[in-house]
Amino acid sequence: MEKKTFKTEWAGRELTIETGQLANQANGSVTVRYGDTMILATATMEDKDREGIDYLPLMVDYEERFYAAGKIKGSRWVKREGRPSEEGILTGRLIDRSIRPLFDPRIRKDTQVIVTVFSIDEENDPDILSVLGASLALGISNIPFNGPIAGCRVAKKDSEVSINASYEQRKDCDLDVVVVGNKGKINMLEGEISEVPDEEVLNLISKCTPDIESLIDFQEKIIKEIGKEKTEITFPEIDQEVKTKAQKIIDKKLESSTFKKSKGEYKEGMKSIKSELFQEFPDYKNEIDMMLEASMDKLIHIKALGEDERQDGRELDAVRELKGEISLFPRTHGSALFSRGDTQVASSVTLASPGAELFLDTMETTEGRKGFMHHYNFPPYSVGEVRPMRGPGRREIGHGFLAEKALNAIIPKKETFPYTIRVVSETLSSNGSSSMASVCASSLALMDTGVPIKSHVAGIAMGLVTDGKDYKILTDIQGPEDHHGDMDLKVAGTRKGVTAIQMDVKIDGVTLEILKDAFNKARDARFKILDVLEATISEPKPLSPHAPKIKMIKIDPEKIGKVIGSGGKIINEIIDTTGAQIDIEDDGSVSVTSPNEESLKKAIDWIESLTREAKVGDKFEGTVKTITDFGAFIEVLPGQDGLLHKTKAKGPMKVGDKANVIVNRIDDKGRIDLALA
């Protein structure tokens, strides 16, 4: 295949696409370079259908390579890249969520998109380039794909707005949002925000439109020039007579069996219809299953658009029953339970010393640390299923990180609250947006612990049904509306503004008008939830008695060695003797963590005595260390001796004697002259 190079200017810098040189056995492959960040995106599809599945078998993998940043993995024992980092998993999900709606869901051929990072500079994040690369690799391939799409990042720091923001522009910013879409529509959002008003968030999202559309035009030119003819996929047709009979049964029973208030009743209704259909048409189970899915999808749309009626009987803007409870578990540092309809999440908080921070070792950073973490679990019993427990998957990691983003805006700075904070959310029952329930439960649990958060954060999931012309926004979507609806928009925030957003769609995208309507209704729902959270606990409690005690002190950085000692001898002696944990920063910040006040005070006094400098007038009970012809050298502080001249002593002294002394004078060389106190 002939090598082709395409260039364009994007956001003031050159963007280069190359094809035909690398990975030519894939159905489609491109390299994307922006600055010195460069990725390879490949798209491959199997020729044959995979048997026995009822879903689109699309896999998206984002491969981080440490060589891309000129680094070797930091582990002493493992130097090879293995399981993707959380950042890598989240980027893979971002790509997946952007491209998945643009495939025909009836496809059963294994399809894989792999993005490999070959080079990374200190300016341009590969994630936006990866979305572009995935779209273009699919676009020039023979794989059926209803693209192209493109992404753009908007960041706001103080009053400065940056489109396609660099790492530096995103550092400590007020808003960092990735927007993906096509011409005139948005199909994916992901962002962390620091209490920015809803209207301003929408306005900033809209600023990405010109840059997205310019990349769409660029891709369309490339696809037109070198794109392969798309493979036509035929889908199996059910026998018309069977289809007619099955549809009659579905039409007769679907609404009465599934439009129920509780998830249990809905599941029983679906199970009953499937049982009857499978018994009647045993040779067409897969086809009947697809008919039933399509019919439920159609019914939810018709009822909402035509009659303002939802599957569980609620008004379109109604939030399900809300309940909050704190101090759930007796020995945790803090805990809470939040329920919204059938969705129920319990969150627990653990506080630890600064030394328990998470050290980051990824392709993009090897020096960062995280002092706040939120982890999310989704056990199978939460949806009434049985499956092996094999650790968190991509979904759990994604949901956990979304809730972490939502809460970051209210977590106190390390300078005022030096604890490492870990929150774990357990999904106990799920029927729609357990990630947003995790935000609410975690907010309650943080206040129950005594973490000085400034306000509560609440989250809500918004849905959409549209026929292409009309649309209706659904507030607080539950399982069937998420599965059969057209949008899942999660918005979290405080009363002041938004702290996190995430949006996925099942259509080609939504307009800014739809997004604005959804944001307004999400704010109304968020305030209702905040009312419940504030009624449950309105301000942080005193710090949990089960939490460790921490005190921060500052010492002269030049005296850190005195605290550590040769080979760590002194600091280990302090730790072993007092039971405290000691963490020292290069700037002289020392945090002392202890299970009780007594050992905390003992350790701090020890450290302060090691780093304290004697001053004129200070009084000490010293120990005689050396006797000379002209007097006694007395240790007044660890490593600091003073001379008590023999003319000032009351009598003979010997090594080991104790003496109450006062600093009489310190000369310009730091030598201490003592007198008896």
From 474, 12, 479, select the one nearest 261 (Cα to Cα): 479
* 212 within 8 A of 150, measured Cβ to Cβ: yes
CATH of the domain at 570: 3.30.1370.10
Q: Is the pLDDT of residue 673 over 60?
A: yes
Q: What percent of the chain has pLDDT over 70?
A: 100
- Beta carbons of 110 and 45 less than 8 angstroms apart: yes
- pLDDT score of 73: 83
What residues make up the domain containing 650?
Answer: 619-676
**pLDDT at position 129 over 80:** yes
Q: How confident is the model over 395-399, as a mean pLDDT? A: 96
Domain end residue (candidates: 272, 307, 342): 307
| Whether residue 268 sits in one domain with residue 214 | no
- How deeply is 225 buried, as exposed, middle or buried, from its count of CB atoms within 10 A (0-12, 13-18, 19+)? exposed
Question: Which neighbouring-strand residues pair with 348?
Answer: 335, 424
Q: Among 76, 100, 90, which residue's Cα sits nearest to residue 149?
A: 100
Q: How much is the average pLDDT of 300-321?
A: 95
Q: Give the span between the Cα atoms of 546 and 196, in whole angstroms.
A: 35
Distance CA(183)–CA(217), nearest Å, equals 9
544 lies in some domain = no
pLDDT band per the 50, 70, 90 thresholds, residue 376: very high
Domain final residue pick, 611, 641, 664: 611
pLDDT of 562: 84
Give pLDDT, residue 269: 92
Assess whether pLDDT exceeds 60 at residue 56: yes
Q: How much is the mean pLDDT over the chain? A: 93
Instruction: Looking at the structure, tell me whether residues 39 and 140 fall in a common domain.
Output: yes
pLDDT of residue 571: 92
Dump pLDDT digits (tens) for 442-451.
999 999 999 9
Q: Read off the pTM.
A: 0.89
| Residue 632 DSSP SS3 | strand
Do 484 and 560 share a domain, yes or no?
no
Q: What is the pLDDT of residues 501-545, one digit of tens each?
A: 999 999 999 999 999 999 999 999 999 999 999 999 999 999 998
Residue-wise pLDDT for 136-152, tens only, equals 999 999 999 999 999 99
Instruction: Give the Cα separation of 314 and 368 in Å (integer).
Output: 46
pLDDT for the residue 30: 98
Sheet holding 581-584, edge to edge: 549-554, 589-594, 581-584
User: Of the candidates 372, 377, 374, 376, which has an alpha carbon nearest to the alpha carbon of residue 358?
Assistant: 372
Co-location of 578 and 665 in the same domain: no
Using the 3D structure, point to which of 482, 502, 536 is the last residue of a domain: 536
DSSP string, 551-589: EEEE--GGGHHHHH-GGGHHHHHHHHHH--EEEE-TTSE
pLDDT tens digit string along 261-276?
888 899 999 999 999 9
For residue 234, tell me if it sits in a domain.
no
pLDDT single digits (tens) 180-197? 999 889 999 999 999 999
Residues 519 and 590 in one domain: no
Among residues 602, 642, 650, 601, the alpha carbon closest in space to that of 622 is found at: 642
52 in a structural domain: yes
pLDDT score of 366 more than 60: no
Assign 201 to helix, strand or coil.
helix
Would residue 452 count as lying in a domain? yes
Contact (CB, 8 A) for 607 and 553: yes
Contact 497, 510 (CB under 8 A): no
C-alpha–C-alpha distance, residues 88 and 361, integer Å: 12
The per-residue pLDDT for range 87-108, each reduced to its tens digit, is 999 999 999 999 999 999 999 9
What CATH number does the domain containing 651 carry? 2.40.50.140
Instruction: Kindly indicate the confidence band of residue 367, based on its pLDDT and cuts at 50, 70 and 90.
Output: low
Predicted local distance difference test score (pLDDT) of residue 270: 92
The whole-number average pLDDT for the span 241-256 is: 93
- Shared domain for 143 and 209, answered yes or no, is yes
Maximum average pLDDT range among 45-54, 73-82, 370-379, 608-617: 370-379
Contact 399, 438 (CB under 8 A): yes
pLDDT at residue 68 is higher than 60 = yes
Whole-angstrom distance, CA of residue 44 vs CA of residue 118: 19
Is the bond preceding 144 in cis, omega lying within 30 degrees of 0? no
The total number of structural domains in the chain stands at 5
Q: What is the pLDDT of residue 12?
A: 85
Say what the pLDDT of residue 369 is: 83
Angle at 568 between CA 567 and CA 569, to 5 degrees: 90
Say which CATH number the domain at 152 has. 3.30.230.70
Is 232 part of any domain? no
Q: Are 354 and 385 within one domain?
A: yes
The average pLDDT across 41-60 equals 94
For strands 640-645 and 672-676, give the pairing. Answer: parallel
Region 112-129 average pLDDT: 95
Whether residues 145 and 245 share a domain: the answer is no
599 within some domain? yes
Q: Token pair of 462, please?
A: 């918004």
Tell whether 444 and 377 lie within a shared domain: yes
Whether 90 is covered by a domain: the verdict is: yes
pLDDT value for 464: 97
The mean pLDDT value for 346-355 works out to 94
Neighbours of 567 (CB within 10 A): 8
Instruction: Give residue 233's Cα distance to chain centre.
Output: 38
Report d(CA 27, CA 388) in Å as an integer: 35
Is residue 606 domain-shared with residue 623, that is, in the same domain?
Answer: no
Same domain for 375 and 436, yes or no, is: yes
Query: Is residue 166 located within the same domain as residue 256?
Result: no
Domain assignment of residue 159, yes or no: yes
